A = this chain, B = another copy of it.
């Protein structure tokens, strides 16, 4: 359903399209869709604007291709949540994986955050489709864990939201995190600190033992 004929993709096309998407990730994640210009992306990709438009005919096409390509990567951590593993361990691992994503792929995180902030105008179908299905599936897994008494009785949907929120916060709100922590605590160690904290929070909560 993308043009009437198949696309034969030459070597150059593959390479250039890749370079454009990489540049577009940089630009879109930093300035949002409306805040980014084709010229910026072209410059970042090391080519002229008309040349870029030869590979993607519209600005919107770049954006869509980018999001399409990223969605799988983005959902991978949740997909790995294993029904058969030990529940507490599985959740711990999921939180760790998500936090690593925030650390290693902040541009991807910000791209999605930007899109959703504006009401997800271009990806709402994906959220209601792929994403919802995946979440529904994992919610069932968690409900099983609750029934088995392996984790506390809690709301699986909101648990997933809480994990998303707390981990992605370190990518999306990085500027604020750094500003508040200051130069000393805001260095590279902040992800270690966050990992330790989140583990304690999600597993044990704040009430003091004894």
A residues near B, CB below 8 A? 30-35, 88, 91, 110, 113-114, 116-120, 124, 127-128, 131-132, 135, 149-152, 154-155, 157-162, 164-166, 168-170, 172-173, 175-177, 179-182, 185, 193-194, 196-198, 200-210
The complex places the Cα of A124 from the Cα of B127 at a distance, in Å, of: 32
Check A176–B116 contact: CB distance below 8 A: yes
Please classify the interface of chain A as helix (H, G, I), strand (E, B), loop, or mixed, using the class held by over half of its residues.
helix
Q: Can you list 17 pairs linking A and B with CB atoms under 8 Å apart?
A: A31-B118, A113-B117, A114-B117, A116-B175, A119-B175, A120-B176, A127-B175, A127-B176, A157-B193, A158-B194, A160-B180, A161-B170, A162-B166, A164-B169, A201-B205, A204-B205, A205-B205
Task: Out of B150, B176, B179, B201, name the residue touching A162 (CB < 8 Å).
Answer: B201
Check A116–B152 contact: CB distance below 8 A: no
Check B88–A207 contact: CB distance below 8 A: yes
Find the B residue at minimum CB distance from A114: B117
The complex places the Cα of A206 from the Cα of B198 at a distance, in Å, of: 12
Task: Out of B118, B165, B180, B196, name the residue touching A35 (CB < 8 Å).
Answer: B118
The complex places the Cα of A194 from the Cα of B161 at a distance, in Å, of: 9
Check A117–B117 contact: CB distance below 8 A: yes
Q: A35-B118, A135-B180, A164-B169 are in contact. Are A193 and B158 (CB under 8 A)?
A: yes
Contacts of A180 in B (CB 8 A): 127, 131-132, 135, 157, 160-161
The complex places the Cα of A154 from the Cα of B202 at a distance, in Å, of: 12
Contacts of A33 in B (CB 8 A): 35
Contacts of A162 in B (CB 8 A): 166, 169, 197-198, 201
Q: A151-B206, A154-B200 are in contact. Are A165 and B159 (CB under 8 A)?
A: no
The complex places the Cα of A190 from the Cα of B110 at a distance, in Å, of: 25
Check A173–B35 contact: CB distance below 8 A: no
The complex places the Cα of A208 from the Cα of B203 at a distance, in Å, of: 9
Contacts of A117 in B (CB 8 A): 32, 110, 113-114, 117, 172-173
